[in-house]
């Protein structure tokens, strides 16, 4: 960020109402209003790898195809089971919510997962130019030989503004496999040493690892899951990722690499949440079942410069109201 940009940000953020309006203006300039339409059309075509998941009283089902594979006609697509575990996801959601608490969990985690205990208290570190903090904490389950690493989401309006600002800038390289949002990369690099310490602790040797988080926390969790595999700290089959309301983290190259190295990746999305649609992707008409006049269109998997989601989308059109 240049000195001029930094001064402009300081001015806007001192005038919070102006900065809020400015952020919304930028959002809607770069995020077409038609993509806010309720996506019932997702039942009729795929937006890979943003995969529609249907729900019934017994199981979730969904299908995921590699980026290079052309999908069949929507009328002939067959649903396949995923490894998504809804009861487990609900408990992870509670842990992700706990990351926003101003005080350490201090045993609260056992209410949701009785066989876990807090391994380290939340680590808060400055992660941007305005000294906003990012945070993570870790719980461990010895009976299940599992670590659960939780990242906190956006905490302040200033932090939200900076995330949006950085989404308008070119992405930064992530280990040579693709481009990612600069804010996410900086925040992740700030927290990674403490996360790596938990992964390398000899008491946790061989433990499987679950990464989770909400919003910004989901983006950081996705980077942590990928980095864990790339650095050979765990095998792909020892890592899983559950995120809630996660924004797009990187471009199509990054998404393809993430799908390769972290196949057990699930993005839980509520139909009224705008964050999973940010930053905006390039849309395409060249997709089975899509017509030029349609309000909502799938992201273009051949677009190299724009944001694109990784993983399997678990789509909740009516929320998670029933237990």
pLDDT in tens, the chain (323 residues): 555 444 444 444 444 444 444 444 444 334 433 333 223 223 222 333 333 332 222 233 333 333 333 333 333 344 456 789 998 999 999 999 988 888 777 767 777 887 888 887 778 888 888 888 898 999 999 999 999 999 999 888 888 888 888 887 888 999 999 999 999 999 999 999 999 999 999 999 899 999 999 999 999 999 999 999 999 999 999 999 999 999 999 999 999 999 999 999 999 998 888 888 888 888 887 777 777 777 777 888 888 778 889 989 898 887 777 54
| C-alpha 255 chain-centroid distance | 11
Q: Domains along the chain?
A: 3-64+80-316 (3.40.50.1820)
Return d(Cα 24, Cα 274) in angstroms, integer.
Answer: 12
Dump strand ranges (E) for the chain: 53-55, 60-62, 80-81, 117-126, 133-141, 146-151, 172-173, 179-180, 208-214, 239-244, 250-251, 265-270, 307-308, 312-316
Return d(Cα 100, Cα 112) in angstroms, integer.
Answer: 16
- Cα pseudo-dihedral 323, 105, 313, 61, rounded to 10: -40
**What global pTM score does this model have?**
0.76
Return d(Cα 168, Cα 23) in angstroms, integer.
Answer: 11
Residues contacting residue 56 through CB under 8 Å, at least 6 positions apart? none
Give the residue ranges of DSSP H helices in 122-181: 157-167
């Amino acid at each position: 960020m240049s000195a001029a940009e930094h001064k402009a940000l300081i001015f806007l953020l001192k005038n919070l109402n102006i900065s809020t309006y400015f952020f919304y203006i930028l959002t809607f300039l770069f995020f077409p209003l038609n993509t806010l339409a309720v996506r019932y059309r997702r039942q009729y075509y795929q937006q890979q790898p943003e995969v529609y998941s249907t729900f019934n009283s017994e199981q979730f089902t969904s299908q995921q195809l590699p980026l290079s594979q052309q999908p069949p006609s929507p009328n002939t697509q067959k649903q396949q089971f995923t490894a998504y575990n809804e009861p487990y996801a609900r408990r992870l959601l509670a842990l992700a919510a706990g990351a926003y608490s101003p005080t350490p969990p201090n045993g609260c985690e056992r209410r949701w997962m009785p066989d876990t205990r807090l391994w380290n208290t939340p680590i808060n570190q400055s992660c941007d130019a305005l000294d906003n903090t990012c945070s993570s904490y870790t719980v461990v389950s010895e009976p299940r030989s599992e670590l659960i690493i939780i990242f906190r989401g956006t905490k302040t309006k200033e932090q939200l503004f900076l995330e949006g600002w950085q989404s308008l800038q070119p992405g930064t390289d992530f280990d040579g496999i693709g481009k990612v949002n600069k804010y996410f990369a900086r925040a992740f690099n700030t927290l990674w040493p403490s996360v790596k310490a938990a992964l390398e602790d000899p008491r946790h040797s061989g433990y499987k690892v679950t990464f989770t988080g909400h919003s910004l926390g989901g983006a950081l969790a996705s980077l942590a899951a990928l980095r864990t595999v790339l650095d050979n700290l765990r095998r792909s089959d020892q890592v899983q990722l559950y995120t809630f309301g996660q924004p797009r983290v990187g471009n199509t190259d990054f998404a393809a690499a993430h799908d390769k190295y972290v196949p057990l990746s699930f993005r839980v999305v509520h139909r009224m949440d705008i964050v999973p649609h940010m930053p905006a992707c390039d849309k395409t008409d060249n997709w089975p079942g899509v017509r030029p006049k349609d309000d909502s269109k799938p992201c273009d998997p051949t677009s190299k410069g724009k944001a694109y989601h990784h993983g399997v989308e678990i789509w909740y059109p009516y929320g998670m109201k029933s237990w």
